[in-house]
């Protein structure tokens, strides 16, 4: 592979200006031209003919779309957008009463790092978690239905970017913030930044019984930016690590001022110790939240110096090491948990920062890895043979290297500027070592142009042998992290169970009825191929008449219990629509403030007579 690398100026400005212009990709594409004889062509490797299914699910962060994107691998076909933090007209998420309440009035989110629930460090296929950098929320999706069950609004916090990564048995996920703000999001001058602004780590747990997320407590950290984290595994399972930048505590012109020091920190903490502190009452209560101050409560949190402005920190599958990638230094640093525990035990501190002990770098560091000409290391994934794969944002490649020796084993150019990557079950305790996908930030002219705003790009790389990009897929904004899980670990339901005790549900046409309570009109109706029935006794069973100003509440049950027979329920001109999946009951409520005759109709094509599945909302003038 021919590769042109410019002289490195060492200036930040140089790094940035140089991004994506380095590698010479003249050989790309030629591998697939005619005449190249292979046992199985790349085309065949990614082709999934009708009647067969993909081997892996890819759950990709949808970034500032606020949603999650589900892809099949190896075909790289997008199967579905699952709404999480933003309303979704396609499914009516944010319109029906329950999802509207969950969204809490927010109309977008910035979904960063998705995380599967884990059992013994393995993806157990039960739940998926994610966090919202925009409006400071966490969410949980049930993988039986692919529906979000709860959204937790987290106070005292701003931009929980450094999440979600769950502990080995899903005891916790940690949400440290990218942005420091005063407690309670109060106003304070930036002149008082170091004193009044805080970086806050929220510690959240999930109750599988009631399917709710809970904020257990928070930790008040210095006003640094916390970037990414990972939980320990096996011998390190009580611990977690996270990266920091802006330990300079700069308040302006961050591209320069937050990159002054040669070293920032890894935060290493023992979450079992933190849990214990809370149990023992060793916390303050701030804005109603239990908050641990690590300067006061010692013994759980430590700092480790690391090459400046690290981005990812990733724990090896065996739980023995963690690897920090130095975004602004061409270095992956391998740290040893065992050495760190030893340093903690023997107090090998090189000082304190904000009251937090700083471990001696050399006592904890095992190896600095600098693959030749590789620039901008961001994230590391793993395979089943002890190799690490690190994305290089600036030199636009993935480098495969030996964790035990630091030796570079292989490398492959990607197009362009990869942020995260994801390998098959690649951050679990037992990666599969089959595929890695580069989540590229820039597509340039890789795909048919759709104007000045380009798609992002994901590239599938076969890592079973010599690394090779075998498929490229454009993607909507904007995958940050993703996780891949073996398809057979998921077993979603096909139809919601017919639960006759479900509140507000109605299971036969004859039972459909309307109740008027003051100025509230409750409609207990059904949807079935190919009609709505709202009132079994009415002259027109598919029409609802209300008075202008009434609050109208539609409770609709889809009584078609057949696979894939989803109905929609929309009201023309009233800006209302919701999806009702087979066997589901959904509630829509609004005030009928406009008099007039408004057609209502099914939005999900359901039968040959789908178009006839309609009726009227008649709003009599006041």
Site residues (CB under 8 A) for its own copies, limited to 567-586: 568, 570, 572-573, 575, 577, 579, 581-584
Conformational region of residue 184, where left means phi above 0, alpha means psi within -120 to 50, and beta covers everything else: left
Among 190, 195, 352, 593, binds its own copies (CB under 8 A): 190
Q: Decide: is 619 part of the binding site for its own copies (CB under 8 A).
A: yes
Contact between 285 and its own copies by CB under 8 A: the answer reads no
Nearest-angstrom CA–CA distance, 230 and 240: 6
Region near its own copies per CB under 8 A, out of 106-114, 271-279, 331-339, 342-350: 106-114
Site for its own copies in 166-185 (CB under 8 A): 178-179, 181-182, 184-185
DSSP string, 44-113: HHH---TT---SEEEEEE-BTT-SEEEEEETTTEEEEEE-SSS-BTTTTBTTSHHHHHHHTT-----B--
The residue count for binding its own copies (CB under 8 A) is 169
Q: How far is the CB of 404 from its own copies (least distance, A)?
A: 29
Kindly state the greatest CA–CA separation across the chain: 84
β-partners of residue 205 are: 214
For its own copies, the binding residue among 10, 449, 501, 518 (CB under 8 A) is 449
Cis ω before 596 (30° cut-off from 0): no
Of positions 22, 60, 74, 91, contacts its own copies by CB under 8 A: 91
Query: Which CB atom, from 240 or from 565, has the smaller least distance to its own copies?
Result: 565
- Nearest distance in Å: CB 125, its own copies: 12
Window 501 to 520, contacts with its own copies (CB under 8 A): none
Report yes or no: 195 and 164 within 8 Å, Cβ to Cβ: no
Q: Is 589 in the site for its own copies (CB under 8 A)?
A: no
CB within 8 A of 251, min separation 6: which ones?
A: 190, 191, 193, 257
In whole angstroms, give the CA distance from residue 617 to residue 615: 7
Tell me if 1 contacts its own copies by CB under 8 A: no
Which listed residue (1, 8, 31, 508) binds its own copies by CB under 8 A? 31
Q: Which of 127, 169, 172 is nearest to 148 (CA)?
A: 127
Q: Quick check: 443 binds its own copies (CB under 8 A)?
A: yes
Closest distance of CB 350 from its own copies, Å: 27
User: Cis omega (within 30 of 0) on the bond before 164?
Assistant: yes
79 contributes a contact to its own copies by CB under 8 A: yes
Residues 195-224 that bind its own copies (CB under 8 A): 197
Residues 469-498 that bind its own copies (CB under 8 A): 469, 472-474, 476-478, 480, 487, 490, 492-496
Q: What is the rounded CA–CA span in Å between residue 153 and residue 203?
A: 13
Please tell me the distance from the alpha carbon of residue 68 to that of residue 63, in angstroms, as a whole number.
Answer: 8
| Options 51-59, 276-284, 379-387, 517-525: segment touching its own copies (CB under 8 A) | 51-59
**Residues 138-157 within binding reach of its own copies (CB under 8 A):** 144-147
18 vs 364, which CB is nearer to its own copies?
18
Of residues 380 through 399, those in contact with its own copies by CB under 8 A are 393-394
Compute φ and ψ for 598, nearest 5 degrees: -125, 120
2 binds its own copies, rule: CB under 8 A? no
Answer for the pair 415, 25: CB distance below 8 angstroms, yes or no. Answer: yes
Contacts of its own copies in 550-569 (CB under 8 A): 563-564, 566, 568
């Amino acid at each position: 592979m021919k590769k042109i690398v410019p002289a490195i100026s060492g200036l930040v400005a140089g790094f940035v200006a140089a991004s994506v212009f380095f590698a010479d990709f003249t050989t790309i594409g030629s591998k697939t031209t005619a005449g190249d004889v292979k046992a199985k062509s790349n085309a065949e490797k990614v082709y999934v003919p009708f009647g067969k299914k993909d081997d892996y699910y890819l759950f990709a962060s949808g970034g500032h779309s606020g949603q999650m994107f589900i892809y099949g691998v190896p075909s790289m076909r997008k199967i579905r957008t699952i709404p999480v933090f933003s309303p979704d007209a396609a499914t009516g998420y944010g319109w029906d009463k329950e999802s509207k309440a969950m969204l809490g009035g927010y109309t977008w989110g910035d979904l960063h790092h998705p995380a599967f629930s884990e059992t013994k460090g393995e993806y157990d296929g039960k739940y998926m978690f994610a966090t919202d950098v925009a409006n400071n929320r966490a969410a949980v999706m049930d993988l039986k239905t692919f529906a979000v069950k709860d959204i937790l609004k987290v106070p005292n916090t701003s931009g929980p970017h450094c999440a979600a990564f769950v502990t080995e048995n899903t005891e916790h996920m940690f949400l440290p913030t990218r942005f420091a703000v005063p407690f309670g999001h109060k106003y304070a001058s930036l002149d008082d930044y170091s004193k009044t602004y805080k970086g806050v780590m929220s510690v959240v747990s999930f109750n599988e019984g009631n399917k709710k997320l809970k904020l257990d407590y928070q930790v008040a950290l210095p006003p640094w930016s916390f970037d990414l984290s990972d939980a320990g595994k096996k011998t390190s399972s009580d611990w977690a690590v996270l990266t920091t930048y802006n330990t300079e505590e700069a308040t302006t012109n961050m591209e320069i001022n937050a990159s002054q020091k040669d070293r920032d920190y890894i935060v290493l903490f023992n979450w079992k110790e933190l849990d214990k502190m809370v149990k023992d009452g060793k916390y303050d209560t701030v804005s109603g939240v239990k908050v641990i101050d690590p300067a006061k409560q010692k013994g759980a949190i430590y700092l480790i110096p690391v090459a400046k402005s690290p981005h990812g920190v990733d724990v090896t599958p065996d739980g023995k090491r963690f690897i920090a990638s130095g975004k602004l230094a061409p270095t992956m640093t391998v740290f040893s948990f065992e050495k760190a525990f030893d340093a903690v035990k023997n107090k090998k501190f090189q000082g304190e920062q904000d009251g937090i002990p700083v471990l001696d770098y050399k006592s904890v560091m095992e190896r600095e890895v600098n693959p030749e000409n590789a620039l901008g290391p961001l994230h590391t994934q793993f395979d089943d043979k002890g190799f690490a794969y690190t994305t290089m944002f600036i030199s636009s490649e993935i480098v495969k290297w030996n964790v035990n020796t630091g030796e570079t084993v292989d490398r492959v150019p990607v197009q362009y500027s990869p942020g995260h990557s994801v390998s098959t079950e690649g951050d679990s305790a037992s990666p599969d070592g089959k595929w890695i996908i580069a989540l590229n930030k820039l597509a340039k002219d890789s795909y048919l142009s759709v104007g000045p705003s380009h798609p992002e790009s994901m590239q599938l790389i076969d890592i079973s042998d010599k690394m090779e990009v075998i498929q490229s897929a454009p993607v909507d904004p904007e995958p940050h992290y993703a996780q891949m899980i073996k398809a057979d670990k998921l077993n979603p339901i096909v139809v919601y169970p017919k639960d006759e005790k479900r509140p507000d549900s109605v299971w036969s046409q004859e039972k459909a009825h309307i109740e008027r309570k003051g100025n509230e009109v409750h409609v207990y109706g059904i949807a079935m191929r190919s009609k709505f029935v709202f009132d079994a006794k009415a002259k027109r069973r598919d029409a609802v008449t209300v008075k202008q100003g009434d609050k109208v509440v539609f409770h609709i049950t889809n009584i078609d219990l057949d696979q894939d027979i989803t109905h929609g329920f929309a009201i023309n001109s009233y800006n209302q629509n919701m999806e009702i999946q087979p066997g589901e009951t959904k509630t829509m409520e609004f005030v009928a403030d406009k008099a007039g005759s408004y057609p209502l109709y099914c939005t999900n094509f359901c039968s040959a007579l789908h178009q006839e599945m309609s009726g009227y909302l008649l709003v009599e003038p006041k």
